[in-house]
A and B are shown apart, each in its own frame.
Chain A
């Protein structure tokens, strides 16, 4: 409890500092709203181009696909607001020895790195993503009850954790190798693909890859399936297991990595 309170105080201060930092330059503060908004608009155009000619994917109709797009955008936007820009710096910090300063402070280095570069510029994307989800629900002519909504929120939460795990996992490899640039490219390609195609579109070996090895395919698919009432018990258990396993592997790689950290020379 004491640790939780301390982390909360540190988080509050990190957020405050980040806002102050961004506000030092007007463009630095307002720019991301414009850039992230443009990025989002481009994504929407891509989705529209892809799905305007597709009536169904598996059992999903237009409404479900719009919910999927909204869900993925929401996961992505929340990630960008909270931790994306902090985590992106991990490999560099390991490589140039900057991690030294994090390891010598009495607060979890991962906690501090993850949350020290929050990005308020992506908050509008969160709002727009929620709007897309509501539009999808309307298009699918659904009236999900409280239980389904709670289930959906639960899956959103654990998939947000899962997304975070995957990001940290890939960058933790920098503790053991010289560079993670290629891994980050692979991550980007997988995210790009899974943002456009829901997990239900994969079959055979592709399903194995995107559900088990690089499980980006389940990230937005499972929350949507829980909302539209298409999730089987087995799939639910698999989803929770996958998150637990990947969280464990990430924690192990990170902790072990810190112990093997060969700080770059002075």
Chain B
């Protein structure tokens, strides 16, 4: 069953084009030129119940605008949009009870108070009965391992701890859909990994549909079976995350260490030498040439060798550029 459906969903913003200098400002008082910018351009999207979807794209691609339209914060300019059978911008309370949104850069917690205090307010806002509230709160406290933090002032928590609290506050009313707009922004590797683990568990155990935007490809690769790539407001890819990376991750990085000095030029049949010292060679080779290069390296008796996937950042850059090249 589809919980989200959009058809030709478009959001256009009008921007004032100011001419240069004070004369331009004075002219602007009487006559203004506007340009239209499609933040989201004819996006068709169908998301099924229980899916974990990643929304990726460079800055200004339209990811957050799309999330804001799906949650009803802003109204679309044109196109059809249906979330759980509702038109989001009608802002009906019964609709708002069925989803939750966490924005990495906007906190819904009261900074001077404890997370427990904010949760109490949310209990009343969502009309959760006391017994259910206690039960759900306990479930998430155990899941996130934050028992000792519940009575600490929010402002004294670390970014990672605060994000855990944000997620508890968002999940307290058992939403059917959880929108996450860059939840791991600014978090260190350990906190990000923990958050990813919790989200995976919530998706699997509660069947919550999760829509995640992130600049960290690790988030998308680890969590999202399906991902949607948006660039300049348009959808340029919608499919399996694995397939996306298979398509665009087209080289490998080989690092070889030698006890004796070695001439690296013989390994460079088709690759790119990233580091070349007498005892260490780091080479980027096309996927299909990996075997050949490895064979050549092995002939030189390396003391250590490693083969890594291409850096995610490079892959992402290629994905985003991929559209403009075709």
State the A residues within 8 Å of B (CB): 6, 9-10, 12-14, 16-17, 20-21, 24, 97-98, 100-101, 103-107, 258-263, 265-266
Contacts and interface: CB of A to CB of B under 8 A. Distances in A.
A17 B71 contact: no
A259 B120 contact: no
Contacts of B71: 103-104
A10 B110 CA distance: 15
Interface in B168-215: 181-182
Nearest to A8: B124
Interface string B54-78: 0000000000100010011111000
B123 to A, nearest CB: 8
B113 A259 contact: no
A106 B64 contact: no
B103 A9 contact: no
A97 B101 contact: no
B113 A100 contact: no
Chain B, interface size: which category? 35 or more
Contacts of B105: 266
Contact of B74 (A21, A98, A101, A263): A263
B124 A6 contact: yes
A172 B153 CA distance: 33
A260 to B, nearest CB: 8
Contact of A107 (B89, B93, B94, B101): B93
A21 B155 CA distance: 12
A20 B117 contact: yes
Interface string B102-138: 0101101010110001101101111100000000000
A44 to B, nearest CB: 33
A101 B108 contact: yes
B113 A20 contact: yes
B93 A106 contact: yes
Interface of B: 13, 64, 68, 71-75, 89, 91, 93-94, 96-97, 99-101, 103, 105-106, 108, 110, 112-113, 117-118, 120-121, 123-127, 153, 181-182
Contacts of A24: 112-113, 153
Nearest to B60: A265
Contacts of B124: 6, 9-10, 12-13
Nearest to B213: A266
Given A21-B110, A21-B112, A258-B91, A106 B68 contact: no
A47 to B, nearest CB: 37
Considering residues A12, A103, A260, which has the most beta carbons from chain B within 10 angstroms of its beta carbon?
Answer: A103
A16 B124 CA distance: 12
Considering residues A9, A12, A104, which has the most beta carbons from chain B within 10 angstroms of its beta carbon?
Answer: A104
Nearest to B127: A6
Contacts of B100: 104
Contacts of A100: 68, 73, 101, 103, 106
A106 B95 CA distance: 8
Nearest to A11: B124
Contact of B125 (A103, A105, A259, A263): A105
A103 B72 contact: yes
Given A10-B125, A262-B13, A17 B74 contact: no
Contacts of B153: 24
Contact of B113 (A21, A98, A266): A21
A14 B120 CA distance: 10
A103 B113 contact: no
A259 B91 CA distance: 9
B73 A263 contact: yes
A17 B94 CA distance: 25
Contacts of B126: 106
A104 B122 CA distance: 12
Contacts of B68: 100, 263
A258 to B, nearest CB: 7
Contacts of A263: 68, 73-74
A61 B13 CA distance: 59
A233 to B, nearest CB: 41
6 contacts: A6-B124, A16-B120, A103-B91, A104-B71, A258-B91, A262-B13
Contacts of A97: 106
Contacts of A101: 103, 106, 108
A24 B108 CA distance: 19
A67 to B, nearest CB: 40
B280 to A, nearest CB: 42
A260 B182 CA distance: 25
